[in-house]
Amino acid sequence: ITAEKAGFDHFMLKEIYEQPKAYRDTMGSRIDESGTKVVLNEVKMTAEQVKSIQQVHIIACGTAYHAGLVGKSIIEKLARIPVETDVASEYRYRSPIITPNTLVIVVSQSGETADTLAALREAKRCGARVVAITNVVGSSVAREADDVIVTWAGPEIAVASTKAYTSQLIAFYLFGLYLAQTLGSQEAEYIASVVSELKELPAKVEQILEQGEAFKDWAEQVASHNNLFFIGRGLDYAVALEGSLKLKEISYIHSEAYPAGELKHGTLALIEEGVPVIALAIQDDLFEKTVSNIKEVKARGAYVFGLHAEGETELVKAVDQVFSIPHTLPLLSPALSVVPLQLLAYYASLARGNDVDKPRNLAKSVTVE
């Protein structure tokens, strides 16, 4: 068993450290030699079919759903097509408006999740084209979709998903760029700049992983609490949702992810002396707004851990402890900012003596409704 874990204590930690490789493998030959554009040969849509897309529905469960929330921002920003992201078990039963001009993207690590598969079938019945983002080549979802973008994360054993999630993000970047290239919705120069930053991500994840120990100390502080909040705006909020889920799944510490500006509309009442708040302040354009929300929780006694991009010194003054991640384009930042949160969840689970790889009541793949 130890051999399978390649010297790591748990599969989860091994899989967290495999992310640079998973990013590189998922990008692989999908970036052309000039390094300025994306080549997605596995997507068989004609340019005409791409141009006829009027809306995109992203459907998934659990962590894959959180990747889909980031996917919505990616596609809307790059391709300028409206996108809705739904949990599969909700989508199926809400009579979604699916037309032949709807592109449905299903996201599933295993490719076997019952609700996701049923949503895929419903979409096909309504005449939509279905693209699958999955980690398992011969899975049911892969077999039934029209186009399949495989995430080359390799087998994921730990129940809490890490490298599959980040590889799904990479797949969304590639697909968003592919749509933008086909639609001409972005300048070639801009596309080239995103591709070039994308290629830098694996090395930047390596930099974060090198400071692994820093997150251990942070997790030990968090592990003694029973309640905490994650706050952020925009993509930082999407990542906060995943960070909160990860922590709940394996440490059993209750947490809530909140859009930073929404706290004052209710939940601020739960912030009292010493409550830990993990604040993501990575999105440049929303930085000032997030800092003002941090001040609101600080004023009520919260103990704030801030996460920001390197070089941003303003946050240091506003929070109690700060962690920085390497700088990248705001659109690409989820692929970096989630990594410290994965390590936080891992070390918090460890500190509490839980079974990290096999959390209670959860299964790796849910093949029944």
Active-site annotation, residues: 364
Site string (145-164) toward ligand G6P, x via CB under 6 A: --------------x-x---
Residue from 89, 102, 108, 337 touching ligand G6P (CB under 6 A): that is 108
Whether 281 contacts 308, CB under 8 Å: yes
Using DSSP, state whether 242 is helix, strand or coil: helix
Choice between 31 and 88, CB closer to ligand G6P: 88
- Residue whose beta carbon is closest to ligand G6P: 62
Residue 369, Cβ density class (10 Å: 0-12 exposed, 13-18 middle, ≥19 buried): exposed
Quote the least distance from Cβ 122 to ligand G6P, whole Å: 16
Choice between 39 and 366, CB closer to ligand G6P: 366
Quote the least distance from Cβ 165 to ligand G6P, whole Å: 8
Taking the C-alpha atoms of residue 178 and residue 302, their distance in angstroms, rounded to an integer, is: 43
Using DSSP, state whether 66 is helix, strand or coil: helix
Quote the least distance from Cβ 39 to ligand G6P, whole Å: 26
Residue from 203, 226, 362, 369 touching ligand G6P (CB under 6 A): that is 362
Return the closest-CA partner of residue 253 out of 279, 212, 219, 218.
219
Whether 273 contacts 301, CB under 8 Å: yes
Choice between 236 and 357, CB closer to ligand G6P: 357
Number of Cβ within 10 Å of residue 254's Cβ equals 12
**156-215: which residues touch ligand G6P (CB under 6 A)?**
159, 161
Parallel, antiparallel, or unpaired: how do β-strands 227-232 and 254-259 relate? parallel
Residue from 19, 89, 102, 116 touching ligand G6P (CB under 6 A): that is 116
Please list, in sequence order, all residues whose beta carbon lies within 8 angstroms of the beta carbon of residue 182, skipping any fewer than 6 positions away.
Answer: 47, 50, 51
Encoded tokens for 219: 């997790």
Taken in order 61, 23, 31, 169, the sign of the CA dihedral is positive
Q: Does 139 bind ligand G6P (CB under 6 A)?
A: no
Choice between 55 and 365, CB closer to ligand G6P: 365
**39-78: which residues touch ligand G6P (CB under 6 A)?**
61-64
Quote the least distance from Cβ 118 to ligand G6P, whole Å: 12
Quote the least distance from Cβ 117 to ligand G6P, whole Å: 9
Choice between 97 and 362, CB closer to ligand G6P: 362
H or E element in which residue 229 lies: strand 227-232
Quote the least distance from Cβ 343 to ligand G6P, whole Å: 17
Return the closest-CA partner of residue 346 out of 2, 4, 16.
16
Phi-psi region of 28 (alpha: psi -120 to 50; beta: other; left: phi over 0): left
Quote the least distance from Cβ 302 to ligand G6P, whole Å: 29
# chain residues binding ligand G6P, by CB under 6 A = 16
Whether 326 contacts 127, CB under 8 Å: no
Number of Cβ within 10 Å of residue 344's Cβ equals 26
Site string (285-314) toward ligand G6P, x via CB under 6 A: ------------------------------
H or E element in which residue 58 lies: strand 55-60
Choice between 50 and 132, CB closer to ligand G6P: 132
| Block residue for tokens 């970036």 | 31
Q: Does 110 bind ligand G6P (CB under 6 A)?
A: yes
Choice between 59 and 335, CB closer to ligand G6P: 59
Binding site for ligand G6P (CB under 6 A): 61-64, 108-110, 113, 116, 159, 161, 362-366
